[in-house]
Structure 1
Amino acid sequence: MKEIRRKTRRKFSAEEKIRIVLEGLRGEYSIAELCRREGIAQGLYYTWSKEFLEAGKRRLSGDTERQATSGEVSGLKREMRDLKDVVADLTLENRILKKSVIGDGEDTE
C-alpha cells in the first residue's frame, strides 16, 4: 500500500507551490478549502508558506545566496577538471623547459 502511495504522490513544481501559497495569502478562500481543492494537506501548505516567507525575508535583507542546481554543479566540476588538466600540462611543460635551460647551461661550462 505504501508503495502505491509513493508512486502516485504528486510532485509540485516551485511555480505551483508559489501559486498555491499566494492564493492562500490573498485570503479569497479558507486555507482548508484551498488545500482540499489542490489536494494537499494543510500542514504541507503551511510548510510551503513558511519557506516562501523566509526566502523572501532573506532576499530582502540582502542575502542572495542560493542553492546551485545539479546542472550548474556538473558544469563547474567539468570546468574545474579541465582547468586542472591545463595546469598539469603547463607545469609539466615548465619543468621540461627548466631542465632544458639548466642542461644547456651546464654543457657550456
Structure 2
Amino acid sequence: MSEIEIISDGGRRRRWSAVEKLRIVEETLFDGESLSAVARRNGVAPNLLYRWRKLMLEGGSIAVTGDDSVTSNKTVREMEARIRELERQLGRKTLENEILKEALEKSRSKKPTLLARSLKRDDLA
C-alpha cells in the first residue's frame, strides 16, 4: 500500500498588506519578468495579481490598498462639471427667490394705500 498525504490550506484566505501588494505589482512592471512567474514566486494566484495590477494602473496605490473598484478620471470630471452646473442653477433659483420675496413685501406694503385710495374715490362719488 502507498501512503497518501493530504495537504490542507487551513481554510483561511491569506491577507496581503498594501505594502506587499504594491511591491509585488511593482515587480511585474519593472523587472520584465512574466506576471505568472512573479505570481508563482510570491505565492499569489495570477488572476489576483492581474487584478491588483489593473487596479493600481487605473487608480494608483490607493485602489490597491482598499481593493475597491476605481472611478476613472473622466467620470470624476463629468461629476464635477455636473456639480458646478447644479450649484449654478441653485444660485440662480436662490436669487430668483430673494427677488420674489422683496417684490411680495413691497406689494404687501403698497396694498393698504391702494385700498385706502379706492375707498376715498367711492366716498366722493
The two structures have a TM-score, normalised by structure 1, of 0.44
By relative contact order (CA 8 Å, sep 6+), the higher-ranking structure is: 1
